[in-house]
Amino acid sequence: MKLGDISVGYLFSLREVVQQLGHDPTPLLSRFRITDELLAQPHARISIPRFMRLGNAAIRYTREPAIGLLMGQSSRISHLGLTGMAAQCAPTLRAAFSTMIEFELLGSQNYRGHSSFEPPAVRFYSISPYNMFNLFVVDSALAARARIGRDLTGGRAQLREVHIEFPAPPYAARYEAVFGCPVHFEQAHNQIIWEPRSLDLPLEQSAAATHADLRELCRQRLSELTRHRGLRERVETLVAPQLDGQPPTLAEVAAALGLPAWTLRRRLQQEAGTGYQNIIDDMRRDLAVTYIRDTEMALGEISFLLGFSSPEAFQRAFKRWTGAAPGSYRKAIFAGNETEEYLKQ
C-alpha cells in the first residue's frame, strides 16, 4: 500500500522554476534519479513521497519557500498529457474541469483521496497534517488550476476566492498576488472558487469533434489502467480514504463493488489469499512505514491518520510490524542506512 504516484509531467514546471530562480536543475534532479529519458517517457510516474522529497529539496536548494506557487504559475495544460489535451478542446471551462477530474487517474493517484469538481469550486485533496514536504504540493496544484483556467479562456476567467486548509505560512502575502482574489487559510478544503459565470466561458481552442475523440481515448486508457487492478487493490482504493476514522465494513465495500458480501469474502481468499480485516491491517502497516520513512509527521499525527486510538497504540503496533520503535526506525533511515532503497521508491 503506497501513498500514490504522479506523472513526470508535473516535474516540468519544477525544472522551469529552478532555472528561473537562477539555479541549474540538473544536480537536483539527478539526486532523485530524474533523467531526460524518464521525462521523455509518455506514461512514466514517480511516487508521491519522492515528489514531496524532491520539492522540499528544491526549496532548500533555491531558498524559495513559495516554490509551489511559482510552479503553478509555470504550469501548462500540456503538462497534464492526454487529459490536458482533451480538456483544452472542451466547449467551456466547466467541461474542461469536468474532464480533468474525470480522468485524473491518468496523471496522478493519491490512495488517501482525490480531487473533485463541485461547481464553482475545484478541490484538491492532500494528506494532512502539513509541513514543508506537502505545503508546496497544495500551492502548486491550486495555482496550476488557476493558471490553466485563465489560459484556456484567454485570461477572461475570474476567481472569487481561494480556500487553503493549513494556517498561513510565512510567505502568505504572496498568495493574493498569484491568485488575484482573497485567499483564506485554515479552511475545510483546499479549493479555488471561480465566479460562476466564468465556468460557462467558451475556450480559446474549443473543438467539439476533437474533444469527443480525445475523451474516448481517455476512457480507453483509463479502462486499460483499471482493468489490470486486482480485487485486493480495488478494495484498498475504497478503504484508504476512510482509514483515519471507522473503515467501511466488508458489506459496505462489497456493495460498492457490486458484489454480495459472501462473494467478496470468498474471492479475496481465492484471489489474494487473505481476508478483509487482514487487508486493513496490512494497509495500516504499509502506510505507517511510508509516513515514518517519507514524511516528517509527528507520531501522534500518523496515529490519527491511521485510525489508532492513541499514539501509544500506534507505537506498539509499529514495533510489532517492524521490530523497531517508529522513532528508531526513522532515525536509522535519516542516518542513511537505507539511502539507496529510499531513492528508488
pLDDT tens column, 59-105: 999 999 999 999 999 999 999 999 999 999 999 999 999 999 999 99
Mean pLDDT of 206-212: 97
Residue 155 CB: number of other CB atoms within 10 A?
A: 10
Q: Out of 175, 193, 223, pick the residue that ends a domain.
A: 223
Tens of pLDDT, residue by residue over 258-288, are: 999 999 999 989 887 889 999 888 888 888 8
pTM, two decimal places: 0.78
Tell me the CA distances in angstroms from 166 to 145, 170, 183, 310, one per residue in order.
Answer: 18, 12, 12, 23
Q: Out of 223, 249, 282, pick the residue that ends a domain.
A: 223
Q: Out of 191, 223, 255, pick the residue that ends a domain.
A: 223
Residue 86 CB: number of other CB atoms within 10 A?
A: 28
Residue 3 CB: number of other CB atoms within 10 A?
A: 23
Q: Which DSSP category does 272 fall into?
A: I
Same domain flag for 114 and 239 = no
- Give CA–CA dist 22/287, Å, rounded: 37
Which amino acid belongs to residue 193? I
Domain housing 130 = 68-223
